[in-house]
Amino acid sequence: MKELRVAMVGYGFMGRAHSNAYKRLNDFFPLQHRPVLKVACGRNAEKTRTFAKVWGYERVEPDWQKAVEAADVDLVDICTPNDTHMEIAIAAARAGKMVLCEKPLARNVAEAETMVEVIEKAGVPNMVWYNYRRVPAITLAKQLIDEGRIGKPFHYRGNFLQDWTISPEVPQGGAGLWRLDVQAAGSGVTGDLLAHNIDAAHYLNGPITRVVAKAETFVKERKHVLTGKVEPVGIDDACLFIAEFANGSLGLFEATRYARGHKALKTLELNGSDGSLKFDLEEMEYLDYFEYKSESHVRGWRRIHVTNSEHPYMDRYWVPGLVIGYEHSFINALADFVKGIETGVPVQPDFRNALQTQKVCEAVLTSAREGRWVETGATA
Amino acid sequence: MKELRVAMVGYGFMGRAHSNAYKRLNDFFPLQHRPVLKVACGRNAEKTRTFAKVWGYERVEPDWQKAVEAADVDLVDICTPNDTHMEIAIAAARAGKMVLCEKPLARNVAEAETMVEVIEKAGVPNMVWYNYRRVPAITLAKQLIDEGRIGKPFHYRGNFLQDWTISPEVPQGGAGLWRLDVQAAGSGVTGDLLAHNIDAAHYLNGPITRVVAKAETFVKERKHVLTGKVEPVGIDDACLFIAEFANGSLGLFEATRYARGHKALKTLELNGSDGSLKFDLEEMEYLDYFEYKSESHVRGWRRIHVTNSEHPYMDRYWVPGLVIGYEHSFINALADFVKGIETGVPVQPDFRNALQTQKVCEAVLTSAREGRWVETGATA
Amino acid sequence: MKELRVAMVGYGFMGRAHSNAYKRLNDFFPLQHRPVLKVACGRNAEKTRTFAKVWGYERVEPDWQKAVEAADVDLVDICTPNDTHMEIAIAAARAGKMVLCEKPLARNVAEAETMVEVIEKAGVPNMVWYNYRRVPAITLAKQLIDEGRIGKPFHYRGNFLQDWTISPEVPQGGAGLWRLDVQAAGSGVTGDLLAHNIDAAHYLNGPITRVVAKAETFVKERKHVLTGKVEPVGIDDACLFIAEFANGSLGLFEATRYARGHKALKTLELNGSDGSLKFDLEEMEYLDYFEYKSESHVRGWRRIHVTNSEHPYMDRYWVPGLVIGYEHSFINALADFVKGIETGVPVQPDFRNALQTQKVCEAVLTSAREGRWVETGATA
Amino acid sequence: MKELRVAMVGYGFMGRAHSNAYKRLNDFFPLQHRPVLKVACGRNAEKTRTFAKVWGYERVEPDWQKAVEAADVDLVDICTPNDTHMEIAIAAARAGKMVLCEKPLARNVAEAETMVEVIEKAGVPNMVWYNYRRVPAITLAKQLIDEGRIGKPFHYRGNFLQDWTISPEVPQGGAGLWRLDVQAAGSGVTGDLLAHNIDAAHYLNGPITRVVAKAETFVKERKHVLTGKVEPVGIDDACLFIAEFANGSLGLFEATRYARGHKALKTLELNGSDGSLKFDLEEMEYLDYFEYKSESHVRGWRRIHVTNSEHPYMDRYWVPGLVIGYEHSFINALADFVKGIETGVPVQPDFRNALQTQKVCEAVLTSAREGRWVETGATA
């Protein structure tokens, strides 16, 4: 078995989720590579040490530049705030390392384009962690579409509803709260949540060509953790957009952190001439499917409990009826990435693919700012 | 159009539900008969007058014997407490009237047998209002079974859960509360609720041959409305039983008025080798159906929204997607009864059919009292 | 009891639904007025006669002008295609009759404004049949909002999804299909479906001030029933819009007849700082409510089964747990209208109120056509 | 950190699930012990080697007796078929090892009593893997009961429905199919499935005192994998029972492998005077709770998405809204076991506690065989 020596940059929520994937990969997937947690790297020395100890990283490296260039590292995983993705990814690619980058790829299209250019020049394997493509129910949705079960698509919907920033007492900035700081995050819900929905839409329904959007910042000022002062909030708290897809269908997207009662309601629905599909991340074991060709008196939305061995990835886990969770989407994504290395067929979404999502995000933000329809650059 | 002149005995909840059915029948069903609300009859003169006025009965008759024998009456509908079903039904039958009797047919098998004997001798059309057979979703369930979609049956389940008598302050007896008075009702949840489940089970899964049961009276004493005194409670507050069906499947039944959070959770589920069916009266617009022959990766419980014109009875009402309610089960039952008169094919469940349900109820109560398995008299 | 003598113009789906309401009103609501089905009026003589016979109208009148001016008529109910609403309503108002008009009020704002002007000058009681306000769950939603349970609103969503026109073989125009003929209908899903969602939004969340929309006609040509020729389709098959509400919240609306698997999925959701509400017409017995003030470990969306006597209108019908249906929303609306006459407090939505919905519809269509944000005329 | 050196006996489904728990424990739970996967032990040498390699056991030991007595082992985990639990557990206890035994504890009460006697004499820490107690939603259910939210209990229900043995072509016996072989398993669904429901019932609602049961073997003969011959099936394919609880409430239990459409529908429901609780393992992220004290117009079943940091165990995993899966119930159980060692407060269910579940199972089987009510030995 070949070693796949990992340098992890960042120790937050994503640092944990990715570490878990590396550690568990070989328990479930028969592969020729074995991840080795080599280096943990982060700004806060103590936190990095604790993180490394819990997850079993062999050593700690305070200087990310040394970490990504280390001779005993094959793969760099970027789990830091968005404002650091570009420089770390570029350094890693230039050092010839494989690069796995947490989504969104960057704060904006300019950064993302630079990253794509460098990584493609370096020719290193790369992936962006749009992990939800590897939720079995979503992978199954893709399979059903590819089997021709949905027919001509008319409508696509994607929501990502949360409610954790409603209180004006929640501050912005710093560890854990950088997602509210526009400097660190680039945007608010657009990059954090809509990006996931856009990636899923691209995966299932193809390119988005035009958008018109509306964004809102409900809480205009919040205390900034780093400065200690009340400062204007630069992110979008909520963002909604209407989309045209290249295939002629219409899209409706919404993300917010102000939808009381929803914690991670990431939904998708696709309606086509021959069938429809629905999914909700809060009950991710289900895919709902409506088949038009059924006899008319027994037509109905069927809840597929996506836990059978014939469902994507599920033969690797337990027995039918027993659910896996959020974290397994990362294990599945990693398995596909490693399989990509082993077979030479690169996994998606890579940096170039994620750039297209970035372009839609930017078109959305531009549209919201300028109050007009904006092209994404993709063509029908 | 022929008139169908109705004498209604009783003015309570069922008196209202049945009156509504008579009044609305011809708005929806093309039949050769037109119900005419001729006589309202009840013990309390003022309540009877009010009832007659609201629903448009032509006259009021305090003496039920005169009402059921009146020359201008074709059909007698019995909506009184259970202890009066027998004598009214017998008088009506002997007077040559059609007889529609609210369920349960009687307080016990002895009464029911007498009623069947008399009514069959009289040869008059008759029906017992087990209205739930005419909920479109349940009629559809029967249709799917008859189409062979369920295969060999293994399991049948039926619950009827309510929560309205939990407080010991609820009295027993008198108008509206006779269901808690064993003298008037004959039994508690067994006759009131389980009887519905048993009728549905007979309809969908055939005869029940043996039972073992457990009944409980949680509140042992309640004030009696008629006597004003605290008296022992003679009814069963809850009753559960295991059943053997003639077809070899196993049944599990439960009814209670002590299931906090359930108001009219009347469910059924049937599991067979080729498919399964599920229903819940609290969302009666749905029938859930699991089809085993679907390809394995798209198998799932499908929610059939039973509101299409191809679904039972639904071509008579609105448009697909728009639901009808509880009361329509009575209209549908009445339509079938009238169609039975017009075609000469008697509708089910008639008195004889309801006698079999009565026998199962009695076997259940006997089993609960004696702590042993009891035969129902039906054979495999 | 005073008579309320009704002239019904139109005998289609809405003619039936409204007739049902008139006939059943006094069975359930204690009022001082009694509707009398006096005149049925329609273009097709035979269909009108059949309709009149089924529902019990006293006479048939082929000339709507005579019908609305008849001395023995108190109230005119307009259930014809949209292109005739204006002239009938004006004639009825000028004849001093009460006017109940099916929604949408008119084909466009110009027509609606004329109607409002005339009817207000005539000073006659009037109502537009946005019946869904009287679905008990939606009325309860309004009550919970008025009780302050939702707090500051952030998001409102309303979908109306159907799937009945996906086949290009469905023709346009003529009886039953005038909704696909832009000349008769004025618009497609905007006037037919979105209008309902906009009315509900106004009712629950106040005025919409600005919109940006996208409309689509998926099937560009259909055979026209009246001409027999394939003709361009002028209606919107689907329409989506983003809205700003005067109260600062964001709206997202969508209606389509191309959402496979949905027959009448009319949803609404409101998210506020203190709670959230959700509703779906396909299971109209439920209102989902999320209460933030609950202790954190027991917070959850609760499904309120809106069938208790303390819920709006439900004390008029059966017992807790037993559902009413679609048609009861018309009975409830009529009861409120009659109560309005009796108390002198006019019911909503009247013509003026419905004009505001018309303005939003027109802003939506303009936005869809011109690709820009459009003001509705309402102010914050 | 202290090592907790594990000898795993068995390499099947449970061997995998438990191994996963040992490997992941310290990633999530801050404890003073660190499991070390020391020895894997199994009958089939090649399968054991593969298993050991995948999960990282340090060595393989074909002789279980050597494994459980090995000096470098602290804890023996028994994941073998039920007919070997007793001798392995006794040997391990006598060797002074901690013993974790997969459920059911034994094939019958006689075996279980012997095991309890020996293990208590040995005084070693012990636990039986009734892992569902540690599903966060079920642990939360227990917490809500302990907070007094349910009040006086009236009804308890527990179902475990599967559909994997419907085909008569499924053989019995051997690896993976020993659950169908009465010699290896002791019983069918009673020990395999009902035991889980009984344990949960004991946990949430206290002792069961009396039962009446019905068991069925739908497929009477199956090919035996070990003998190659068609042999009678000795297990119960389905088993239903009515129970009396010591607290006066009534229980209804059912388990089957013949419920088409259900893969792992393990439900529970408790109804009390003040509230009710519901759970279904197929959507294990939810606990449904009905609170009676809510104001009457907003009462409803609330779906608690048990993924908040204030919910049991959930502060150890991801962020609110993101679900964990089946396997985490084992991690949580292990964490509690280790905490029990560290605090000196033994975890439940230990062998003695599991003996009580065994007694109920045996009473159920006796009742099914003899057709009468049977006492469990527990007292009110």
User: Position of tokens 């609606």?
Assistant: C112
- By the 8 A CB rule, do A39 and A103 touch? no
To the nearest whole angstrom, how far is the Cα of A35 from the nearest Cα of chain C?
38
User: Position of tokens 């002062």?
Assistant: A229
Beta bridge partners of C84: none
Residue-level pLDDT at C123: 98
Per-position pLDDT tens, chain C of length 380: 899 999 999 999 999 999 999 999 999 999 999 999 999 999 999 999 999 999 999 999 999 999 999 999 999 999 999 999 999 999 999 999 999 999 999 999 999 999 999 999 999 999 999 999 999 999 999 999 999 999 999 999 999 999 999 999 999 998 889 999 999 999 999 999 999 999 999 999 999 999 999 999 999 999 999 899 999 999 999 999 999 999 999 999 999 999 999 999 999 999 999 999 999 999 999 999 999 999 999 999 999 999 999 999 999 999 999 999 999 999 999 999 999 999 999 999 999 999 999 999 999 999 999 999 999 999 76
Beta bridge partners of B34: B3
* D146 Cβ contact partners less than 8 Å away, ≥ 6 residues apart: none
- Closest CB to D250: pick one of B212, B214, B260: B214
Beta bridge partners of C256: C161, C238
Q: Cα–Cα distance between C114 and D193 in angstroms, integer? A: 71
To the nearest whole angstrom, how far is the Cα of B326 from the nearest Cα of chain D?
20
A297 at the B interface (CB within 8 A)? Answer: yes
Neighbours of B343 (CB within 10 A): 9
Cβ separation C283–B285 shorter than 8 A: yes
At what angle are helices B13-28 and C13-28 packed, to 10 degrees?
160
Neighbours of A320 (CB within 10 A): 16
Give A259's contacts in chain C (Cβ within 8 Å): 154-155, 271, 276
Strands C126-128, C153-161: pairing is unpaired
Beta bridge partners of B157: B252, B269
Reported ipTM exceeds the 0.95 cut: yes
pLDDT band of D354, cuts 50, 70, 90 = very high
User: Position of tokens 């019905």?
Assistant: D214
Interface test with C, best of A145, A150, A155 (most C CBs within 10 A): A155
How far, in Å, are B147, B298, D82, D174, D184 from residue D107 at the CA level? 43, 38, 6, 17, 8
User: Position of tokens 């990992």?
Assistant: A6
Q: Looking at the predicted structure, is the pLDDT value of residue A191 above 70?
A: yes
pLDDT band of A203, cuts 50, 70, 90 = very high
**Please, which chains are in contact with D (at least 3 CB pairs closer than 8 A)?**
A, B, C
Helix (H, G, I), strand (E, B) or coil at A99: strand
Both tokens assigned to B180: 């808690």
User: Position of tokens 């003998």?
Assistant: D227
Cα B358 to chain centroid, rounded: 12
pLDDT band of A379, cuts 50, 70, 90 = confident
* Among D141, D215, D206, CA closest to D182: D215
Q: Cα–Cα distance between D298 and D284 in angstroms, integer? A: 25
At what angle are helices B136-146 and B195-205 packed, to 10 degrees?
30
Q: Which residues in chain B come in under a pLDDT of 70? A: 380
What structural domains does chain D harbor? 2-124 (3.40.50.720), 132-375 (3.30.360.10)
- By the 8 A CB rule, do C365 and C215 touch? yes
pLDDT band of D328, cuts 50, 70, 90 = very high
DSSP single-letter state for residue A102? P
Q: Considering chain D, what is the average pLDDT of its residues? A: 97
Give C291's contacts in chain D (Cβ within 8 Å): 298
pLDDT digits (tens, 9 = 90+) for A357-366: 999 999 999 9
How far, in Å, are B18, B264, C12 from residue B330 at the CA level? 7, 17, 25
Cα A215 to chain centroid, rounded: 21
Cβ separation D162–A321 shorter than 8 A: yes
Interface test with A, best of B290, B297, B313 (most A CBs within 10 A): B297
Q: Cα–Cα distance between B150 and B144 in angstroms, integer? A: 7
- Reported for A120-125, long-range contacts at CB under 8 A and 24+ positions apart, including other chains, are A120/A351, A120/A352, A121/A93, A122/A93, A122/A94, A122/A96, A124/A92, A124/A93, A124/A96, A124/A97, A124/A98, A124/A99, A125/A98, A125/A99, A125/A337, A125/A340, A125/A341, A125/A346
- By the 8 A CB rule, do D337 and D351 touch? no
pLDDT digits (tens, 9 = 90+) for B315-329: 999 999 999 999 999
For D33, list phi and psi in degrees, rounded to 5: -110, 150
DSSP single-letter state for residue C314? G
- By the 8 A CB rule, do D209 and D202 touch? no
Q: Where are the beta strands (DSSP E) in chain C?
A: 2-9, 33-41, 59-60, 75-78, 98-101, 126-128, 153-161, 208-216, 221-223, 230-232, 238-245, 250-256, 265-272, 275-280, 286-291, 301-305, 374-375
Q: Considering chain A, what is the average pLDDT of its residues? A: 97
DSSP string, A321-356: T----TTHHHHHHHHHHHHHHHHS---SS-HHHHHH
- Closest CB to D318: pick one of A17, A27, A321: A17
- Closest CB to A290: pick one of C212, C216, C261: C261
To the nearest whole angstrom, how far is the Cα of D167 from the nearest Cα of chain B?
8
To the nearest whole angstrom, how far is the Cα of A155 from the nearest Cα of chain C?
7
Question: In A, residues 237-276, which contact C (CB 8 Å cutoff)?
Answer: 238, 240-242, 244, 250, 252, 254, 256, 258-262, 271-276
Residue-level pLDDT at A324: 98
Question: What's the residue count for chain D?
Answer: 380
pLDDT band of A190, cuts 50, 70, 90 = very high
Chain D residue with CA closest to C306: the answer is D297
Residue-level pLDDT at A380: 67
B327 at the C interface (CB within 8 A)? Answer: yes
DSSP string, B200-239: HHHHHH--EEEEEEEEE-SS-EEEBTTT-SEEE--S-SEE
pLDDT digits (tens, 9 = 90+) for D94-119: 999 999 999 999 999 999 999 999 99
Neighbours of C13 (CB within 10 A): 15
Residue-level pLDDT at D380: 67
DSSP single-letter state for residue D237? S
**Please, which chains are in contact with C (at least 3 CB pairs closer than 8 A)?**
A, B, D
Cβ separation C289–D297 shorter than 8 A: no
Q: Cα–Cα distance between A356 and A349 in angstroms, integer? A: 10
Residue-level pLDDT at C178: 95
To the nearest whole angstrom, how far is the Cα of A281 from the nearest Cα of chain D?
8
For B321, list phi and psi in degrees, rounded to 5: 100, -20
Question: What mean pLDDT comes out for the span A244-262?
Answer: 98
- Closest CB to B304: pick one of A140, A288, A298: A298
* Among B82, B77, B55, B49, CA closest to B64: B77
Q: C69: exposed, middle or buried (C-beta count within 10 Å: 0-12, 13-18, 19+)?
A: middle
pLDDT digits (tens, 9 = 90+) for B304-316: 999 999 999 999 9
* D81 Cβ contact partners less than 8 Å away, ≥ 6 residues apart: D178, D184, D185
Kindly provide the b/e burial profile for residues D295-325, where b requires at least 16 CB atoms within 10 angstroms of the residue's own CB.
eebbbbbbbbbbbbeebbbbebbbbbbbbbb
Cα B303 to chain centroid, rounded: 25
Residue-level pLDDT at C157: 98
C316 at the B interface (CB within 8 A)? Answer: no
How far, in Å, are C157, C374, D132 from residue C241 at the CA level? 10, 11, 46
